[in-house]
Structure 1
Amino acid sequence: MPIQRRIGPRSGTVWVDLFGETSEYADEASAHLLRRWASGYLTEPNPDLGRSGPVRPFVRPSIGKQLFGAAFVHGSGIDAGALGTIVEDQFDLYTTLSREDDRDRSLKTLVTLLPDLTGFEMIDVVHTEFKSRFVEHGFMLGQFYPGCTQPSLWNHDFHPLDAPLPMLVARHMMTTDFPFLVGRQEWLCAYFKKFAPALPSTLRLTIAKRMKYDGDAVDAITAHHELTGNEPGR
C-alpha cells in the first residue's frame, strides 16, 4: 500500500509520498534535490563505496512502490526540543506503517527533512536521543547532512551519510545493520529478537552480552572485512 498523507499529532508535521504530490508542503527546490539524490545517488553503484551494488539497495524498490515518505520542516530557528517532538511523531507514524498487513512494509521509509537548518550538530544530538527507541522496535534512525563523516563499513574514506540536505531517516532494520548495533547490549538484544526470534530471550541476552563491543565497532568490522575480503549485501 503506497504511503498516504500522514500528520504528526504533536507537531502537525506532514509526511507525504516524495514522488507524489509534495508541492503543498515543500519548496520545489528542496523536493527536487531530495528526489534527485534519492533516485540517483542512493540507487546507483559508487566506485568509492568499497563493494558492489547501489549505495542503498532498498531505496529503488521503496521509491518504485511509493513507499518513500518525506516531511519538509522549514525554518532555521528550530531547536532540539522541537525537532525531538517531530521525531516522536515520525516514530509513531512509522510504527503504524510497519504494523499494516503489507508484504512491502520493510521497504517503507519516512524522511524528516530540514532544508533551512545550518547547525547540523543538532541532527546528531536528536539521533543519539532517539536511536534506542527505534532500534528497540526493529527500526533504524539514520542521520544525514552535508559533511557527515560517518564512514562506510567498506571504505573509511567514503561517507555514505554525507547528504545534500540535513535529514533524519526512519527505516526497517536489516541484517547488515549488525555492525552499527554492537556498541550497546540492548541494541544487540533488539537485533537478535528481530532476526532470531525463536531463540529464548535469556539466550539472546547472553549472546548480546558476549558480543557487545566496547571499542570502535565500525573500525573493527571494517578491518575484518579488509582481511577476509567478504562481500556484503548492504
Structure 2
Amino acid sequence: MPIQRRIGPRSGTVWVDLFGETSEYADEASAHLLRRWASGYLTEPNPDLGRSGPVCPFVRPSIGKQLFGAAFVHGSGIDAGALGTIVEDQFDLYTTLSREDDRDRSLKTLVTVLPDLTGFEVIDVVHTEFKSRFVEHGFMLGQFYPGCTQPGLWNHDFHPLDAPLPMLVARHMMTTDFPFLVGRQEWLCAYFKKFAPALPSTLRLTIAKRMKYDGDAVDAITAHHELTGNEPGR
C-alpha cells in the first residue's frame, strides 16, 4: 500500500510519497532535486562504491511501490530541539507504518529534508540522540548532507552520505548494516534480535558483548573493511 499523507502531531510536519500523485510539494524545488538524486544516483551502480549493484539497493523498489515518503522543512535556523521534535514525529509515524500488515513494509522510507540548513552539525547531533531509539526497533536513522565524510563500507574513500540536500532518513535495518552497529552493545543486540531471532536472548547478549568494537563508527567500518576486503558477496 502506498504511503498516504502523514502529519506529525507535535511538529505539524507533513510527509507524503515523493513519487506519488500529490500536489503537496508541487512547487518545492528541493522535491525535484531529491527525486532526481534518489531515482538516479541512488539506484545506479557507482564505480567508486567498491561492490556491484546500485548505491542503495532498496531505493528503486521503494520508489516503484510509492513507499518513499518525504517532508520538506524550511528555515536556516532550525536547532537541535526543533529538529528533535520533528524526528520524534518521524519515528512514531515510521513505527506505525512498519506495523501495518504489508509485505512491502521493509521498503518504506521516511525522509526529513531541511533545504535551507547550512549548519549541518545539528543533523549529527540529532542523529546521535535518536539513532538508538530507531535501532532498538529494527530501524535505521541515516544522516545525509553535502560534504558528509562518513566512509563507505567497501571503499573507505567513497562517501555515500554526501548528498545534495541535508536530511535524516528512516528506513528498515538491513543485514548489511552490521558495521554501523558494532559501536554499541545494545545496537548489536537489536541487530541479532532482528536477524537471528531464534537465538536465545542470553546468547544474543553474549555475542553482542564479544563483537562490540571499541571505537567510533568510522573506525568500525575501517575494521570491517580490513577484515572482509573488497568482496561484495561477503
- TM-score calculated relative to the size of structure 1: 0.95
8 A Cα contact 1:146 1:165, kept in partner = yes
Deviation at 1:228, TM superposition (A): 4.6
Deviations 1:5-36 (A, max 9, x none): 00001000000000124543464310100000
State the secondary structure of the residue aligned to 1:69: strand
Cα distance in 2, alignment partners of residues 160 and 34 from structure 1: 15
Deviations 1:205-233 (A, max 9, x none): 11110110103454455455456545336
State the secondary structure of the residue aligned to 2:112: strand
8 A Cα contact 2:151 2:221, kept in partner = no
Deviations 1:150-180 (A, max 9, x none): 0001111110000000000000000110000
Change (3 A) 1:123 1:228: closer
Identity, % of aligned positions:
98
Change (3 A) 1:213 1:224: closer
8 A Cα contact 1:155 1:222, kept in partner = no
8 A Cα contact 1:67 1:107, kept in partner = yes
Cα distance in 2, alignment partners of residues 98 and 220 from structure 1: 29
8 A Cα contact 2:43 2:57, kept in partner = yes
Cα distance in 1, alignment partners of residues 102 and 116 from structure 2: 35
> Cα RMSD between the aligned structures?
1.7
8 A Cα contact 2:143 2:161, kept in partner = yes
Change (3 A) 1:223 1:128: closer
Change (3 A) 1:111 1:224: closer
8 A Cα contact 1:14 1:25, kept in partner = no
Structure 2 runs not aligned, ≥5 long: none
8 A Cα contact 1:192 1:204, kept in partner = yes
Deviation larger for 64-73 or 151-160: 151-160
Aligned residue pairs total: 234
Deviation larger for 64-73 or 27-36: 27-36
8 A Cα contact 1:70 1:111, kept in partner = yes
Change (3 A) 1:217 1:142: closer
Structure 1 runs not aligned, ≥5 long: none
Q: How does 1:141-180 map to 2 (within 5 A)?
A: 141-180=141-180
8 A Cα contact 1:15 1:110, kept in partner = yes
8 A Cα contact 1:26 1:72, kept in partner = no
